[in-house]
Amino acid sequence: VDHGVRLIADMKFTTAITGLLVGTAGVFAAPVPAPVAVADPPGIPSATSARTLLAGLTVAAAGSTADYDRSLFRHWHIVSGTCDSRETVLVRDGTGVSTDSACQPTSGTWFSPYDGVTVTQSSSVDIDHMVPLANAWISGASTWTAARREAFANDLSGPQLWAVSASTNRSKGDRSPDLWSPPVTAFRCTYARSWIQVKSSYSLTITSAERTALTSMLNTC
């Protein structure tokens, strides 16, 4: 699927074990019994477009993390009313989400496409930056203004922010596709297309190893 909606039932979840409780904080690895449409973040290019964008990215050695600090990317700012960007993504990507007056989700379920896990408590959901802040820093963001870094860290206009299980987000850390890829192999095509779109949108560089890994992922599309 190249745009907008993925059919969960069609994905080959090699890591999910039927009915197995994998966490004590509302995280279950469970199959979806029927096709369920889940909206992707916006702006994911087709595989063909992603290949074109990839060819246009500048290949360069990674920069230094010596001066990097996560606080340089102000994130989870207010988007509307009392809702910050994290809460906005939780509502956008969840199913049956209810919130309180402070915009905190009080109920709902979230499907984590990276690892095929369904999460039933928002506290067990992380909002992943598709291109991690540290990776952006060593790819060009070290020269940005504070305002541009803030826009990057809260970007809802493209496929930069994803609701995923806390465990898989922390497994990924700040690693690029040559060092980490989603456990659900069927999602790697979407992952690569999203990563490339973000890098292209912000004119960030990629390493040679990163380009090789992204090309390999696109070949699964």
pLDDT digits (tens, 9 = 90+) for 162-189: 999 999 999 999 999 999 999 999 999 9
Structure tokens at 196: 């490339």
Model confidence at 40, pLDDT cuts 50, 70, 90, reads: confident
28 pLDDT more than 50: no
pLDDT > 90 fraction of the chain, expressed in percent and rounded:
82
pLDDT at res. 19: 36
Q: Token pair 């699927």 is at which residue?
A: 1
| Domain assignments of the chain as residue spans, ordered by start | 5-218
Distance of alpha carbon 47 from its chain centroid, rounded? 17
9 pLDDT more than 50: no
Q: From CA 197, how far away is CA 116, in angstroms rounded?
A: 23
Q: What is the pTM of this model?
A: 0.84
Model confidence at 8, pLDDT cuts 50, 70, 90, reads: very low
